[in-house]
Amino acid sequence: MAERKVTVTSEVGLHARPAATFVQTAAKAPFDVMIAKVDGPPVNAKSILAVLSLDVEQGDFIVVSAEGEGADELLDQLVEIVSAP
53 contacts: CB under 8 Å, gap ≥ 6: 43
**Catalytic (active site) residue 15:** yes
Complete DSSP assignment for 20-34: HHHHHHHHTSSS-EE
Active-site option among 15, 21, 32, 52: 15
State how far the Cα of 2 lies from the Cα of 80, in Å rounded to an integer. 16
Residues forming the active site: 15
